Amino acid sequence: MTAVAETNDPAAGAPADKNVADDSTARSARLRHLIITVYGLYARHDGGWLSVATLIRLLADLGIEEPAARSAISRLKRRGIVQARRNGGSAGYQLSAGALAILGEGDARIFRRRRATPADGWVLAVFSVPESERHRRHVLRSELTRLGFGMVAPGVWIVPAHPQDTTAGTLERLGLDGYADLFRAEHLAFGDPAAKIRRWWDLDELERQYEAFIGAHEPALPEVPPSGREAFAGYVRLVTDWRRLPYLDPGLPAELLPRDWVGIRAADLFFDRRERLEEPARAYVRAVMSG
């Protein structure tokens, strides 16, 4: 959280106010991400629906007060991520079809432990968008970034090839397939691929984010695995903090990364915590839903 120092200096007022606004925006975004994680983990078996009462109860277990929870849900509704729907007389919200598709695409990446190897090759996205549709160019670049692509050149982007690659389906779903071609490729020449990796992806920033994840979750679990509410809260926070990292680092080959790459340690931590927390967390949510 950003610390804001109090001051009577008018010249310092604007930056302080900006920091307060940034902090508030970050908290709001964090809350929305937690809600999406709850839906992604526990609602899809019922078509993406949760009753308001259940959702408020689960968010309270995450330390979120009801007014803040309702405000965040309203924002997600305005963005088309959730939709209001009654089920059996109970008020609730369900994930939109688009949100369900995105979560489905994300599962293969978020819960995938295997990293690519140089022998797997690469997927190249080559695209060209007319100047008259520059907004589509921005959307396409943003989506490729979200899918973990690095930029080789302005119209040539690259990502490790994986059997569960979802690039084609995602571009089709968003109506962007008419602007791009996808190829399977291997690096033949020239130069050191490990050096090029640093140009295509920001490894320094990625390392900082992995270190932050480890710092937040490595000391968080006692020797005896927690049960009930503590397991649920810990697991939701774990998945929320982890789920964007496999997009920033799309399983880059360990052979091309720095020695003792921190991302491998972070992945080990995530999957260890997941193994210990997932089932007691699920049991707790089932009890809440049935109660």
Q: Can you give the pLDDT at residue 234? A: 93
Does 64 map to a domain? yes
Decide which of 185, 216, 236 is a domain's last residue: 185
AA identity, residue 79? R
Range of the domain at 236: 201-290
Does 242 map to a domain? yes
Does 83 map to a domain? yes
Does 233 map to a domain? yes
Number of domains in the chain: 3
Same domain, residue pair 214 and 251: yes
Nearest partner of 274 among 215, 223, 231, 216, judged by Cα:
231
pLDDT averaged over 10-residue windows placed end to end, the chain, 291 residues: 28 44 74 94 87 94 93 93 90 92 85 87 91 88 89 92 81 87 89 89 93 90 76 95 90 90 94 94 92 72
Same domain, residue pair 283 and 217: yes
Alpha carbon distance 118, 135 (integer Å) = 34
Query: Cβ distance 185 to 237 under 8 Å?
Result: no
Same domain, residue pair 209 and 173: no
Same domain, residue pair 75 and 140: no
Alpha carbon distance 63, 156 (integer Å) = 44
Does 4 map to a domain? no
Q: Which residues of 240-278 are buried (b: 16+ CB within 10 A; e: fewer)?
A: bbbbebbbbbbbbbeebbeeebbbeebbebbeebbebbe
Quote the distance between the C-alpha of residue 149 and its chain's center: 15
167: domain CATH number is 3.30.70
pLDDT tens for residues 175-210?
888 889 999 998 888 888 888 998 999 999 999 999
Does 1 map to a domain? no
How many secondary structure helices (H) and strands (E) does the chain include?
Answer: 11, 7
Q: Can you give the pLDDT at residue 222? A: 67
Q: Can you give the pLDDT at residue 230? A: 92
Quote the pTM value: 0.82
Does 114 map to a domain? no
Does 110 map to a domain? no
